[in-house]
Amino acid sequence: MSDFDNEKTGGQERPDYYQPNQNEGQTYYTPHQNEQADNNTTYHYSYAGKAQENQESYSNTSNYSSGNGNYYQPPQNDNKQNAENGNSPKPPKKKPSAGKIVAIILVICAFVAAVGIVLSTTGVIDDSKNSQNNSSTSQSQDSGSDVKTNDSNSVQTKDSSGNLTVAGVAKKVMDSCVGITVYSEKQASYNYFYNYGNNDGNNSSNSDPEKSGEGSGIIMSEKNGKTYILTCAHVISEGTKFTVTLNNKKEYDAKMVAYDSQTDIGVLSIDATGLQVAEFANSDNLAVGEQVIAIGCPGGLEFMNSLTSGYISALDRPISSNIGYDNKCIQVDAAINPGNSGGALFNMQGQVIGVNSSKIAATEYEGMGFAVPSDTAIATANSLIKSGYVEGRAKLGITYLPLTKYSNYSAILSALEEKGYKNAQGTMVINSVDGSSDLASKDVKQYDMIVAINGKTMTSTDVLTSVLADSKPGDTVKLTIARIENNSIKTSTVECKLMESKGDSSSQSNSSGE
């Protein structure tokens, strides 16, 4: 029996001082409905396939011709006009000699010849350019009918310093990532997170298991002809049958080895050898700001082995497991979605540094995912494979109810504060004591309250769980017990030797340490 199973009291009548809430056990959740549609604006661009024609026209006039196209027309009746204007005609100039005329003609001929050579050369150059342009255009049109890609543009798996890129990490690790399909005999709603099955009050079982969810996993190790798959406890805890899908789409029937709800770690096994086993890093060496890669099956196997990238946002974040224990997790901003649970969180060397476990899913939050550190995951998994439970874990050997479940808890807290136990909201009301617990031989009974441990007031249940986490079976703790008698509260101190917990683990293996 679990050390802290929240079971309802039964059998013995409760004292009149206790008045349990009528709505005990109910959970309220109101999803946000503030989704808004985006108003996308599309900009349209037009492209003219033809060049615009030149609107500037050339006239037929030039420096060398008149408007009528004639080269030169001497003025008419020039002497007559001068005479009419009263001007006497000028005497004719002396005609040049024949030698001068010859010289002038030679100069003009030389000039005309030079202009001709220049124009001829220009024409050759222009013709050559036009020829090249036409050739280039022709070649472009010919090659356009058979476009070829440049094979030199390959995926870069390493940067200039020789370190792996995101693509390089993906290429290295993808074959060590798997998808998990879970089947259950009980009727349950299809839930990727597997946390809660909606039976609608119907607990009947089906003859054939039905698919109840999908998740992710990591090829962890190989031993004695078996390959072990690391995943999350909440992925497999409700299942009775499992299949594992490799990156190459090959499927294997899987068996549950064991799972531990406290750390949210579970292990499956398949009969296979020679698969790519993941490499694990020491999660104690992580630092905020490191780049990380998450690989898993968001939304199920339809999107198997999807990759997202981000950075470590924080370390040692206390995140509560399904049974109320706080685990110190890695916080990342890489997208973690339903179905990613059990998948790997890698560093940029392609080493597993965590097992993706949960995400804060609310409209007020974005980019807050969490992973169980690899050191915790491996230690838990190895113990599950060896013994079927987590060895060396201590417990008191009781079940309890939180004091805050009772309608008159405020009055009890006030009475405890008068006795020096301030803010004791974490007080535990003992429901039952395990017969093998050291407390079974002590003056402790049902409805007694644990208000402090080792002198620390129970301001929350984390006070006790943290003490147990730092203890081992056989260690002794001091409990402050409060008891209500004759409508008053009396306290006493009890010493208890801790026992080994096999509690919130479950195993379907033979526990032979295979």
Active site residues: 234, 264, 341
CA neighbor of 272 nearest in space, from 383, 178, 384: 178
Residues 6+ apart with CB under 8 A from 168: 156, 157, 158, 350
Amino acid in position 438: D
Q: What is the DSSP letter of 473?
A: T
CA–CA separation, 353 vs 40, rounded Å? 40
For residue 178, count CB atoms less than 10 angstroms from its CB and return exposed for 0-12, middle for 13-18, buried for 19 or more.
buried
CA neighbor of 280 nearest in space, from 347, 231, 336, 214: 347
E strands of 37-98, at which residues? none
**C-alpha of 237 from chain center:** 24
Amino acid in position 20: P
CA–CA separation, 373 vs 371, rounded Å? 6
Hey, what are 76's tokens? 């008419």
Residues 18, 406 contacting (CB under 8 angstroms): yes
CA–CA separation, 256 vs 269, rounded Å? 7
